[in-house]
Amino acid sequence: MFNEKIILASASPRRKELIASISDNVEIRPAECDETLPDNIGAQQAVEYLSKIKNEAARRISADDEAVISADTVVAVDDEILGKPIDKDDARRMLRLLSGKTHQVYTGVTISKGEKTLTFSEKTDVVFYELTNKEIEDYISTSEPYDKAGSYAIQGKAGLLVKGINGDYFNVVGLPVARLKRELEEFFR
């Protein structure tokens, strides 16, 4: 655990739960920013870019002596970044793209305090079973897909769609906590 107060620049309840394993001294302070991606940006570069601009927005409403952590997660399959679905049709489309394939989940994290900034990203490969139309329809009839990158929450009912993962499970949930802990130790050293 860290004594240092941490500002988590995220409204995600999943990230709030995950960061609690690192520190008891966390304040949630989401900041608004334009999350439009530059053209022709890859998934890993996208999450690092988005975590940086979220961090910059949070820094504008934070004191210089506060440590700010921001993060962004995307799902990518066949070089296509899958954001949050806009409706049921979009969720259905994404789940069909993921069906029977290995895809990547990237989370970018930026840590800053004063003039010091560190950005890193983590990648996890996720394999989905071949999904039936009924499985897809049953899943999109739940509330889970609609505020999740790639239209699924591995920690929820979508866990039944996952054949396996290679990498950090918590990265798929939204925050690579084991790596973040190590990066924070080095950052505060």
Task: Give the chain's end-to-end CA distance (angstroms, integer).
Answer: 14
Catalytic residues: 72
Read off the pLDDT of residues 23-33 as tens digits, 9 standing for 90 and up. 989 999 988 88
Angle between helices 133-140 and 88-98 (to 10 degrees): 140
State the virtual CA torsion across 137, 72, 58, 69 in degrees, nearest 10: 120
Contact 75, 93 (CB under 8 A): no
- pTM for this predicted structure: 0.93
Look at residue 1 in the predicted model and tell me its pLDDT.
62
Whether pLDDT at 142 is above 70: yes
* Token couple for 45: 């570069």
* Token couple for 170: 């918590």
Give CATH for domain 6-188.
3.90.950.10
Averaged pLDDT of the chain = 94
Look at residue 8 in the predicted model and tell me its pLDDT.
95
Read off the pLDDT of residues 88-115 as tens digits, 9 standing for 90 and up. 999 999 999 999 999 999 999 999 999 9
Cα angle vertex 31, ends 111, 183, to 5°?
10
Look at residue 2 in the predicted model and tell me its pLDDT.
64
Domain boundaries defined on the chain: 6-188
* Token couple for 102: 């290995």
Look at residue 76 in the predicted model and tell me its pLDDT.
96
